Structure 1
Amino acid sequence: MTARLEGKTALVTGAATGMGRATTELFARHGARPVLFGLGGEALDDAAAASGGVAVHGDVTKPDDIAAAIAACGGRIDIVVNAAGLITIDEPATVSDEAWSKTFAVNVTGAMMVCRAALPLLRRQGGSIVNIASVAAFNASASNASYAASKAALVSYTRTLAYAHGPEGVRANAVAPGWVRTPMSEHEMEIAALQNGSSTEAEFEALTQRIALRRIAAPSEIASCCLFLASDDASFVTGAVLIADGGGRAPPQNRAT
């Protein structure tokens, strides 16, 4: 296997579980030194041990915690992956100010603060930012008002980064996953199962019928998208959104003829 990230330092937020953890493990296998930043407690320590990285326990919305994560990178950052995120089930007419503010604080402001803090080091040798957004940024949903809006904002912010810092050799891209089997999606399906009187597995199975590939993604598959965008294989890719939804946005059936 070619080590596509040999000698690079990668700061990954939300690295304790799901897509963040899968990304740190894949990056480590490709020669990167991962710095894992998040609130995962023992799970974050376990993820760091699995990837041979450094764990920094903290909150992406707190400047002091971000500073500690930057310091743990040891004066060099080549890659930033913002995988930290949360989802709230809410609707436009009833979404609370608290839920809206908290969702934006983690999904958008946290990513911005981490990028802002990392940019001085990224600009030294050129680097790559990968923000994990969601197809919710483009697909309407009655029950994801704050989440969808926050992911759309993250996509817009990513494109601003790309334009502003491209002349300095910094690339910025977003991955927009569809359904991925993570603790976050498990929680969503548990809520749906309670509402529908079904089971979590039944809800996941129903989802697959809306996806062209007829399955839910594994976190490792989104990690592979992050690897591509972070590596030199994507050296002329910036300001892009890589949609990885298994064809979930494709028409569910052929047009009648």
Structure 2
Amino acid sequence: MITIVAHRGWSGAAPENTMAAFKLALTEPDIAIIELDVHLSKDGVPVVIHDHTLDRTTSGTGRVKDCTLEDLRELDAGSWFAPEFSEERIPTLEEVLQLAKGRCMLHVELKTMGNVYEGIEEKVINLIHRHGVKDQVVLSSFDHHSMKRANEIDPSIKAGLIFLGNPTLLIDQLHYTGATSVSMHYYFVTHELVNEMKELEIDLGVWTVDDSDTLASIVEQYPDIRITTNYPDRLLRIARQGSVRF
């Protein structure tokens, strides 16, 4: 069964990590998961943006961590994508949790590294509990120590490890961190890995696949995998033409 993940919302059709992209993804019932990225503002509020800096996707400059929430709220987070999105702002994680509650799973990637956002795990977990969505959320990060901390704070909230390359001692890493989910670049996925993760009941996914031919190849080879894409419409079309189950 293919699981479709809308990367940073439906970011092929709306500016990434904005309410517009999340609302669009929620209009398609066969999108199972929305992925988003979280940093902390200067005053400690979890905010949704991918980069550590503001320059690429907003009208601002500098680092996210150096701006208060009030500062961030003044920035245009949509015009870079298209003029009609000029009213989009950087959302807070709380706003996204409220929007998606009862509607869609969320993969929340913590964009921390080292101690750049000390306490981010506890702040995010507190929000998850406040809004009663712990069964809807999987936390994830390239910083695997962050996932270990998250699991120690609350092991009832699922944690996932993200990899760029081909990890060694993967099972040991999962046990050490308490993670039950793995996300990696599709280059490194093999049938052996898929079968091993399935036996261990570890959720396995690939990121970020946008090319239609590559999407079709993955669907054909690995019909039971989680696929993250900026263009859910392309994956939906391929899956429906092939009568793939969602």
Q: Same fold (TM over 0.5)?
A: no
* TM-score tier after normalising by the smaller chain length: 0.3 to 0.5
With the length of structure 1 as denominator, give the TM-score of the two structures: 0.35
Higher strand proportion, which one?
Answer: 2
Higher helix proportion, which one?
Answer: 1
